[in-house]
């Protein structure tokens, strides 16, 4: 089963929920891992089981980064807020970097997220 990481900043959480609802059937075929609040919302509002890490500002991005470094993640959907400064910006940059280090598919907007999700499932 493919393992997908889902992360969304506050301004993008509604977009993430919409994305997860639209792709519920595909996502149900994957193991999902997420940062704390994103995972809680996907679980409660979309009804999908999600393995939850800490919230992003409390180290959740680093926890997901560690999973990527161990090559336990097949794709990352990280809906960032490009218009708001985040207190944990270094963690965010590190997460993007580790995706490139390990050649892990990474989507930072919902248009790419659709393509990545379908690509990952089709590869199975
Ligand atoms: O801050 C985040 C990613 O950088 C997301 O964290 P939450 O899902 O806990 O809001």
Which of the listed residues 9, 14, 62 should we mutate to test ligand 1's pocket, taking the one with most ligand atoms within 8 A of CB? 9
Does the annotation flag 102 for ligand binding? no
pLDDT at position 124 over 70? no
pLDDT at 98: 98
Q: Are 29 and 121 in contact (CB under 8 A)?
A: yes
Query: How big, in percent rounded to 5, are the helix, strand and coil portions of the chain?
Result: 55, 15, 30
What CATH number is associated with residue 119?
3.40.50.1380
Name all residues whose Cβ lies below 6 A of ligand 1. 7, 9, 35-38, 55-57, 60-61, 92
Which domain range does residue 94 map to? 3-123
Which residues, in sequence order, are CB contacts of 21 under 8 Å at separation 6+? 45, 46
Distance, C-alpha 13 to centroid of its chain: 11
How many structural domains is the chain composed of?
1
Phi, psi of 82 (to 5 degrees): -80, 0
Over the stretch 4-42, which tens digit does the pLDDT of each residue have?
A: 999 999 999 999 999 999 999 999 999 999 999 999 999
Closest ligand 1 atom to Cα of 35? 8
- Among 10, 31, 61, 114, the active-site one is 61
């Amino acid at each position: 089963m493919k393992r997908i990481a889902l992360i969304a900043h506050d301004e993008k959480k509604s977009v993430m929920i919409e994305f997860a609802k639209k792709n519920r059937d595909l996502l149900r075929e994957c193991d999902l891992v997420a940062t704390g609040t994103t995972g809680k919302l996907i679980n409660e509002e979309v009804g999908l089981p999600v393995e939850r890490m800490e919230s992003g500002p409390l180290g959740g991005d680093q926890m997901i980064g560690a999973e990527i470094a161990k090559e336990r993640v097949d794709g990352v959907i990280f809906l960032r807020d490009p218009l708001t400064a985040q207190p944990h910006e270094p963690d965010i940059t590190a997460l993007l970097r580790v995706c490139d280090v390990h050649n892990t598919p990474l989507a930072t907007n919902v248009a790419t997220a659709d393509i990545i999700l379908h690509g990952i499932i089709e590869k199975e």
